[in-house]
């Protein structure tokens, strides 16, 4: 079984660590008042990367929680992949200035492909992660509030030819539900796009879920609610 990189997640609303269920802002649970403390606990446990999502930004369609990003980036050594509300050149520039190692771009890649490709060309494939979130294998955008008619497979086929390397894919129906991952979806994506680095996200509830992803050669997985709910121990995860 291959090694899989585990990336702990922090989702931000009103500057606090929260988790949603299936992307529903009305199903919000606050876990920590201070995201920096949470990030430091991940760093202390031995993690190297952090998945940081600005849920306020995703809803507002512009980046909101830059101060949280800046604090975590300046006070930890975690490599941060940051997403939520990045819609303009200025947004993206600020995200990198505030210390993000990588930026997750979702809605822009669907609605303004020329802008997305210009960012990919300017910043390089190591800095840009395509956020391809799905409901029933169709893309969901704008903080999952809108489902498109675009197939995930057609979408990735179009983008891989332009030098894309990283894709984070969340099955919205699985996210925050602690009911297991969309294993079949990831298996199909990995088989169809062996040249892409697929980051699985949503539904991890046990070490078995992570082992299953490793078995299908998934390179990375984001883990959120299972940590906050005590289903997964940080030390066990790293082992």
Alpha carbons 52 and 62: distance in angstroms, whole number: 15
Mean pLDDT of 107-111: 89
Integer CA distances (angstroms), 18 to 38, 115, 190, in order = 11, 30, 30
pLDDT value, residue 23: 62
Asked if 204 and 226 touch (Cβ cutoff 8 Å), the reply is: yes
Residue 133 bears catalytic tag = yes
How wide is the angle at C-alpha 175 spanned by C-alphas 172 and 179, nearest 5°? Answer: 120
- Asked if pLDDT for residue 133 goes beyond 90, the answer is no
Mean pLDDT of 212-239: 87
Residue 14 bears catalytic tag = no
Which pTM does this prediction carry?
0.91
Residues 11, 54, 56, 91: which is the catalytic one?
A: 11
Q: What is the pLDDT of residues 56-66, one digit of tens each?
A: 888 888 999 99
* Mean pLDDT for the chain overall: 89
Which residues, 6+ apart, have CB-to-CB distance to 198 below 8 Å?
A: 167, 169, 186, 189, 190, 218, 219, 220
CATH topology of domain 5-238: TIM Barrel (3.20.20)
Residues 54, 133, 171, 209: which is the catalytic one?
A: 133
Instruction: Sketch the domain layout of the chain as residue ranges.
Output: 5-238
Q: What is the pLDDT of residues 149-183, one digit of tens each?
A: 889 999 999 899 899 999 999 887 656 556 678 89
β strands within 84-225, DSSP E:
102-105, 128-131, 134-135, 138-141, 146-151, 166-170, 197-201, 220-223
Closest CA to 23 of 131, 149, 120, 158: 131
């Amino acid at each position: 079984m291959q090694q899989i990189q585990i990336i702990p997640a922090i989702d931000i609303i009103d500057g606090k660590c929260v988790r949603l269920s299936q992307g529903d802002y009305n199903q919000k649970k606050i876990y920590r008042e201070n995201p920096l403390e949470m990030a430091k606990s991940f760093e202390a446990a031995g993690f190297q990367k952090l998945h940081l999502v600005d849920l306020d930004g995703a809803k507002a369609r512009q980046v909101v929680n830059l101060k949280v990003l800046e604090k975590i980036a300046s006070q930890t050594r975690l490599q941060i992949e940051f997403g939520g509300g990045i819609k303009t050149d200025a947004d993206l520039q600020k995200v990198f200035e505030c210390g993000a190692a990588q930026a997750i771009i979702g809605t822009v890649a669907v609605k303004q492909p020329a802008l997305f490709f210009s960012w990919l060309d300017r910043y390089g494939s190591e800095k840009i992660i395509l956020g391809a979130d799905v409901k029933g294998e169709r893309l969901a955008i704008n903080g999952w509030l809108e489902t498109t008619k675009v197939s995930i497979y057609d979408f990735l086929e179009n983008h891989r030819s332009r030098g894309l390397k990283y894709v984070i894919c969340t099955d919205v129906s699985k996210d925050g539900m602690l009911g297991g991952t969309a294993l079949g979806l990831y298996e199909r994506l990995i088989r169809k796009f062996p040249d892409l680095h697929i980051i699985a996200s949503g539904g991890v509830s046990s070490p078995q879920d992570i082992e299953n992803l490793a078995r299908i050669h998934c390179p990375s997985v984001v883990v959120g609610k299972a940590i906050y709910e005590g289903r997964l121990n940080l030390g066990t995860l790293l082992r």
